[in-house]
Structures are given as structure tokens and as C-alpha cells.
Amino acid sequence: MTTKGAPMSEQSDEVIYEVRSHVAFIRINRPERRNALATSTVEAISNGFLRAGEDDNVWAIVLTGTGDKAFCAGGDLKEMDDIARSGAQIHVPMTGPSRNMFEIILETYKPTIAAVNGAALAGGCELLLACDLRIAVDDVQIGLPEAKRGMGANFASVVLPRMIPRAIAMEMLYTGKSIGAQEARDLGLINRVVPRKDFEDSVQAFVDEVVVNAPVSLRRYKEMAAKGWELPVSVALRLNAGPNPYLSEDRVEGVRAFVEKRTPKWKNR
């Protein structure tokens, strides 16, 4: 475990994992393939979220990509073609011994932020859908071209119609057309759109707005929102999911810091 504020990083060929000031930064590092999702990339991203979810020193997670061309261009079609030519079958969503990557991200009970540095297409679009918050450069394209490739957008076909107007979601799925960052912002799909020259500073400022708050409260919000998404209000209100902030040391500290007019020192318990 790292000490407060101390950077910790681990670099691999495909995904870079780094913790800075209570934030885990997970960066897809395949710019030569537009950060496409090979089987090994999916495994590395999944492992990164699992690792961050289990680390008490991590209070939020940022997912981004290397370069300025693509956040993630979706599945690695070259790998898929190679698999098909070999006579084998590509992985089918929600099957096999491992959890689905998008499900892992949804069930990581800490704030997750997609920092969309470039095009987010197909599985790349689904990655940002799996995160809680999204900040994007103003020239990115976001779309689900799976129907043009004979694929299924399994995750997006379920969650996108729950996140934006159903007719718009179905149009994106049926036509495979992309939308720009500002249109995505207008639909409520993107939280913030920023110029490319300000992107890194804006991402850091965005995540700082999150992690300045009590980590116990953040985890409570995430777990309650995730588990209560489709439940009736009367049932969701009684979930009591995640850590109970009302009984926490952070609640005591937060109130006392307010009374004493100082910055709280969170303990994450």
C-alpha cells in the first residue's frame, strides 16, 4: 500500500497503472492500435479496476488512453479476424469463467471517471458508459458501429437506453453513427467538454473536486446508486448498501472540521 500522496506506478506494454494522491489512473497504452481492446488488454484493464477497488488508499479511478487519436477504438478487429481465420470462436459476452470487464467497472464501488482523450467507439464507448463520470476533449467522436461489423454492443444495448432518451439510444445502435462531444454533453452522456490544450489540467481539476470529499461517503454513493438503479424508490431507500457514513469516523471529522473552520483529514473509515 502506498502512503498518502506518494505516487505508485506499474507499467506494462498495454495498460499503465499509477496511483497519485488517492487516485488510480488506468491508461490504455496501445496508441498504434488506437488503444483497441485485445484479449490481453481487457484482462489488464479488469485487473486494474479490481486492484484499485481493493486498495484502501485509492478513493477514485480515472480511465484514459494514450495519445490524442483514440480513447479506445473498441475490440481489436485484427485479433478477431485472426481468431476467425484459425477456426476458433471469439469470446461471447457474459460467458466463460471470468467476469465481464464492463461489469467489473460497474461493480467497482468507488467513483470512476472516463477521461476521453480521443475517439470512443464500440467497446471504447461502452467503457465510458461503464464509468460514473465522463470528461472529454471537444473534438472526440463517440459511437457504436457494431451493427456495421456484425457485432452486438451487448453492454451498450442494455445500459445506453437507460442513460439517454430511448429513441436516441436506439438510433445510435441501429445506424452505427457517431456523435460529437457537445451533442453527447447535451444528452447528458458527457459531464464536461474541454479544449484539448486544457485536457490534462481539466481532468485533474475534475477528479480533485471528487476526492476532496469523504471517501466513505463516495463509496456509499456509488454502491447505493449502482445497486438501487432499477429498484423501486421505497426498496432502494432501504438497501443500506456500502459503508455507513452516519456511523463513520469521517462523519465525526467532517462535522468537527466544519465547526472548527478547517480542512477535514479523512481516514476512510
Taking residue 247's Cβ as centre, other Cβ atoms within 10 Å add up to: 9
Q: Residues with Cβ < 8 Å from 48, sequence gap 6 or more?
A: 15, 17, 24, 26
Query: DSSP alpha helices (H): ranges in the chain?
Result: 39-54, 77-85, 101-106, 123-130, 146-149, 154-163, 166-175, 181-186, 199-211, 215-227, 233-236, 249-259
| Contact (CB, 8 A) for 243 and 222 | no
Which residue among the candidates 14, 146, 171, 260 is catalytic per the annotation? 146
- 146 among known catalytic residues: yes
Burial 54-65 (b: 16+ CB within 10 A, else e): ebebbbbbbbbb
Q: Residues with Cβ < 8 Å from 59, sequence gap 6 or more?
A: 22, 23, 110, 111, 210, 211, 215, 218, 268
Residue type at 179? I
Phi-psi region of 58 (alpha: psi -120 to 50; beta: other; left: phi over 0): beta
Q: How far apart are CA 63 and CA 26, in angstroms?
A: 5
Q: Residues with Cβ < 8 Å from 5, sequence gap 6 or more?
A: 20, 21, 22
Q: How far apart are CA 110 and CA 54, in angstroms?
A: 10
Which residue among the candidates 32, 79, 126, 260 is catalytic per the annotation? 126
- Catalytic residue set: 126, 146
